Amino acid sequence: MTETAIEDVETFRRRARAWLADTMPKVDPDAVPPPPGDDDEEWVRTRELQKMLYAGGFAGICFPKEYGGLGLTPAHQLAFTEESVGYQMPLLLNVPTFSICAPTILDMGSEEQKKERISAAIRGDEILVQFLSEPSGGSDLAGLITRADKDGDTWVINGAKTWSTSAYAADWALCLARTDLDAPKHRGLTMFLMPTKAEGITMRRITQVNGSTEFCEEFFDNVVLPASAVVGEVNDGWAVASRQLFHERTAVGGGSPYVSGRGTGRVSTPKSDLVDIARAFGRSEDAAVREMVGESRAHHVVQQQLIRRVTQGIETGAMPAPAASIMRLFHAETDWMLDDHAVAIAGAAGVTGADTQALAAQLSVNYLMRQGSSLGGGSSEMSRNIISERILGMPREFAADRDVPFREVKRGR
Ligand SMILES: Cc1cc2nc3c(=O)[nH]c(=O)nc-3n(C[C@H](O)[C@H](O)[C@H](O)COP(=O)(O)OP(=O)(O)OC[C@H]3O[C@@H](n4cnc5c(N)ncnc54)[C@H](O)[C@@H]3O)c2cc1C
């Protein structure tokens, strides 16, 4: 389709509004969320909703047409997202399937991988996840120890991954493994597309402090993958991982054009507005509380402007790709502030779950989970390192393993 043939955003918005009203079920505000960990039905429903979007011609708005998308712009996506508020949407697919894995395959994958995996995800047939972090640590991703050894035309994978969001519900994973022990750590890695149900994979669900079992850990015992599973080039997996991390930081920071609909889809711990919380606990006239509400609101407004500025800066080349870490860091800071202020406003009830019971309990759980926003997509400390080294040009952190063959790198047991 030529540039002039693209439907204008307002016409697209009106068409989306009418279709949503005719087709998509409304969110029930009184629906009881499923108990944490008991969310298989959510995934069945998510696939159904994605299939409905696909059948209606509103799936994969920013993905190219040749891979099943609509080939439209971020402005079209934003219009659809705004219209979709209040309707049930397949929000669980936004991260990591659509905003991290599919764009990475789009940027770095083979023609076959793009045609098969991206199209299947847009149709609602497949879910994609990330196998990056390992039990030995996630920040030093290039230091991972899961191995892929060549055996004729195939690769044999051995090792372990952890913290894989939603892996139990997924079909395919982008899995980073070491393919050359004689190269320095960044140069001996390869990215693979791995079926999550492949023979040799043992998957276990991890129970978090809020009862959710959304995270998984995987153990690989001689998992055999074909040569066509390689994403990008053999031993150039760091280039693929870097692109993936860019998409992850953009997504977590709130700037991905591939996210459709608003919210996380994690209904078990919805965030409440601080004004509602202040009212619920009878503290809306307290000057200190009003200051907290204002501070949090100001952060939220700045966050939205920052997302626009940084995404435009990266798109136009005015800012380097690592600038995505600015959005990602500010997201964590804003999220923390919201959870901290919420508990402070609720006072003792926010800890004991007394008084306005359900809300107080929700705030306590949110507080326990707030650490997650400064870890997922790379930690806040790593974001600060990236901003200082790659954007501000400050000296690089010392690394004893830089340019050392990985085989010779000293590691703890
Ligand atoms: C919500 C959520 C979703 C996630 N989803 C996935 C997923 O789908 N797939 C996946 O593979 N992983 C996933 N992760 C894992 C995530 O990528 C890791 O938690 C993260 O990279 C940090 O790794 P780690 O937990 O092993 O901490 P570590 O790397 O062990 O770090 C521990 C602490 O040390 C600090 N630190 C480490 N190195 C440095 C340094 N050089 N300078 C300063 N401070 C440092 C870190 O900031 C952190 O505070 C997810 C995590 C969360 C919270």
- Per DSSP, the residues of 100-128 read IIHHHHHHHS-HHHIIIIIHHHHHTS--E
2 in the Ramachandran plot: left (φ > 0), alpha (ψ -120 to 50) or beta? Answer: beta
Domain 3-94+102-125 has CATH 1.10.540.10: yes
Picking from 20, 112, 105, 2, the residue whose alpha carbon sits closest to that of residue 57 is: 20
Paired residues of 176 in beta bridges: 191
> How far, in Å, CA of 3 to CA of 202, rounded?
48
Question: What confidence tens digit (pLDDT) does each residue in 227-242 have?
Answer: 999 999 999 999 999 9
Atom 35 of ligand 1, residue of closest alpha carbon: 381
Residue 282 has what pLDDT? 92
Residue 177 has what pLDDT? 98
Choosing from 129, 133, 140, 398 the residue with most ligand 1 atoms within 8 A of its CB, the one to mutate for a pocket test is: 133
Paired residues of 216 in beta bridges: 164, 205
Atom 16 of ligand 1, residue of closest alpha carbon: 376
Residue 65 has what pLDDT? 97
Residue 264 has what pLDDT? 66
Picking from 112, 113, 92, the residue whose alpha carbon sits closest to that of residue 102 is: 113
Q: Is residue 345 exposed (0-12), middle (13-18) or buried (19+ Cβ within 10 Å)?
A: buried
Domain 269-391 has CATH 1.20.140.10: yes
Domain ranges of the chain: 3-94+102-125, 130-237, 269-391
CATH architecture under which domain 130-237 falls = Beta Barrel (2.40)
Question: What confidence tens digit (pLDDT) does each residue in 117-146 have?
Answer: 999 999 999 999 999 999 998 899 999 999
Ligand 1: nearest atom to the Cα of 371: 53
Residue 268 has what pLDDT? 41
- β-strand 128-131 against 201-206: which pairing, if any? unpaired
Torsion sign (Cα): 241, 246, 250, 256 = negative
Ligand 1: nearest atom to the Cα of 133: 11
Residue 36 has what pLDDT? 55
Calculate how far, in angstroms, residue 163's C-alpha sits from the geometric centre of ligand 1.
9
> How far, in Å, CA of 123 to CA of 135, rounded?
34
Residue 253 has what pLDDT? 87
Calculate how far, in angstroms, residue 382's C-alpha sits from the geometric centre of ligand 1.
9
Residue 26 has what pLDDT? 94
Residue 80 has what pLDDT? 98
Residue 361 has what pLDDT? 82
**Contact indicator for 337, 300 with CB cutoff of 8 Å:** no
Choosing from 163, 196, 381 the residue with most ligand 1 atoms within 8 A of its CB, the one to mutate for a pocket test is: 163
Rg (CA), the chain: 22
> How far, in Å, CA of 187 to CA of 234, rounded?
10
Paired residues of 174 in beta bridges: 130, 193
> What contacts 244, CB < 8 A, 6 or more positions away?
100, 101, 104, 130, 132, 174, 191
Place of tokens 């040009």: 393
Atom 9 of ligand 1, residue of closest alpha carbon: 164
Calculate how far, in angstroms, residue 119's C-alpha sits from the geometric centre of ligand 1.
30
Positions of the chain with pLDDT under 70 = 1-4, 32-38, 264-271, 353-357, 413
Atom 41 of ligand 1, residue of closest alpha carbon: 382
Phi–psi pair at 190, nearest 5 degrees: -140, 140
| 87, 150, 183, 374 from 378: Cα distances, Å | 31, 30, 24, 8
Ligand 1: nearest atom to the Cα of 372: 53
Calculate how far, in angstroms, residue 376's C-alpha sits from the geometric centre of ligand 1.
6
> What contacts 315, CB < 8 A, 6 or more positions away?
none
Ligand 1 residue neighbourhood (C-beta within 6 Å) = 96, 129-133, 137-139, 163-165, 372, 375-376, 378-379, 381-382, 385, 397
**Contact indicator for 244, 104 with CB cutoff of 8 Å:** yes
Helix (H) and strand (E) counts for the chain? 13, 8
Residue 377 has what pLDDT? 86
Ligand 1: nearest atom to the Cα of 131: 11
Atom 51 of ligand 1, residue of closest alpha carbon: 376
Residue 272 has what pLDDT? 74
Calculate how far, in angstroms, residue 183's C-alpha sits from the geometric centre of ligand 1.
24
Residue 60 has what pLDDT? 98
Atom 5 of ligand 1, residue of closest alpha carbon: 165
Picking from 192, 188, 190, 199, the residue whose alpha carbon sits closest to that of residue 221 is: 199
